[in-house]
Amino acid sequence: MDRVLHQRGRVSKETEERVRRIIEEIDYRPNVFAKHLRLSKIFNFGILMPKPSQDSHYWTLPIQGIARAQHELATQKVRARYFFYDKFSPGSFGKISAELLQTPLDGILMAPVLSKSFESFIKDIPDGLPYVFFDSYISNARPLAYIGQDSFQSGVLSARLMQMLLPDKGGIAVFRVLPEDYHIDERLNGFVSYCRRQIGMDAHVFEIDGDRSVETRRRTFEKAFGEIPDLRGVFVTNATTHQVASHVKSLGLQGKVHIIGYDLIEENARFLREGVIDFLISQQSERQGYEGIYALYRHVVLKMPVESKIMMQLDIVTLENVDYYKS
């Protein structure tokens, strides 16, 4: 059997056909675990993502999933090496991505939230080095797999929820958080496109630089709240939803201005429990990191096929289920 499987030595055609028929009948699979343990092969997967502290510590969520997968695969000698970049500094990304490319790796799991920078970076990835996207996507790339949500539909879902909260309609402030990010923009597009089809749902878009000071963001909130007549709703495109919630609470508008945003970080969960935030859309961020490592493991170690898209469901987190929900 070994000679047929690995094409070692001369085997008659009749014998080869008989052996392959037996292999097919018994559904034989090589013991890759024993093979790699024998060879003492360590599989190093690079993790390219923003610093964990950014976006209100959102990135700690997928790290939890990555750590869980790495722990489960420790006996298979799978290792994760992190390459954290500052998403607000193009220079930081260039330096960190160059360091990654100089490191011997068997695969890359990346969050391509800086669309233009990543479009350039993926052109430099060596042929044969598999990479997986999570959280965000670049349309002209060819990753081994994408793990995340349909961002446009999550925006549509958020707008549908807002419509339910505003039976008498009203103005809506939409906060697009910078820097430019494909999936953030798709959320925005989904939300605004739905509102445009509804009479009385007037969405007004404001931009917030995620790297600016709390005072700068507060002035942006004040501008939005002052400019929109009959403001009744707020939609935030990322995990910084709690910043708007804090402003609404400080103005005593809790229950009068409805808020929908993203991600079950602790600060958002606190305002959800208090009734300041109405709904959070969860991306199942921990699971994204977990599935990303396993996609690379299946492809690189087990030599098995991997789904090209592993879509996360659009989960709605509310006051009633927040204490039972896992991110």
CATH superfamily of 34-149+285-313: Response regulator (3.40.50.2300)
Q: Cβ contacts of residue 6 below 8 Å, gap of 6+? A: none
Q: Is the pLDDT of residue 8 over 70?
A: no
Cα(136)–Cα(154) distance, integer angstroms:
13
Each residue of 304-318: pLDDT tens digit? 999 999 999 999 999
Q: Do domains 34-149+285-313 and 151-282 have the same CATH topology?
A: yes
What's the Cα-to-Cα distance from 164 to each of 67, 118, 201, 248, 276, rounded to whole Å?
38, 38, 11, 20, 16
Cα(305)–Cα(144) distance, integer angstroms:
10
Each residue of 261-283: pLDDT tens digit? 999 999 999 999 999 999 999 99
Cα(200)–Cα(167) distance, integer angstroms:
10
Q: Is the pLDDT of residue 3 over 60?
A: no
At 1, is the pLDDT very low, low, confident or very high (cuts 50, 70, 90)?
very low
At 4, is the pLDDT very low, low, confident or very high (cuts 50, 70, 90)?
very low
Q: Is 9 helix (H, G, I), strand (E, B) or coil?
A: coil
Sorted by where each begins, the domain ranges of the chain are 2-28, 34-149+285-313, 151-282
Contact indicator for 286, 64 with CB cutoff of 8 Å: yes
Q: Is the pLDDT of residue 298 over 90?
A: yes
Cα(297)–Cα(156) distance, integer angstroms:
34
Question: What was the pLDDT predicted at 199?
Answer: 87
Class of domain 151-282: alpha beta
Helix axes 151-165 and 182-196, enclosed angle (nearest 10): 40
Cα(179)–Cα(265) distance, integer angstroms:
20
DSSP string, 33-79: HHHHHHHTPPEEEEEEEE-TTHHHHTTHHHHHHHHHHHHHTGGGTEE
- Among 84-88, 178-182, 271-275, the minimum mean pLDDT is found in 178-182
Each residue of 223-255: pLDDT tens digit? 999 999 889 999 999 999 999 999 999 999 999
Cα(186)–Cα(201) distance, integer angstroms:
19
Count of residues making up the chain:
327
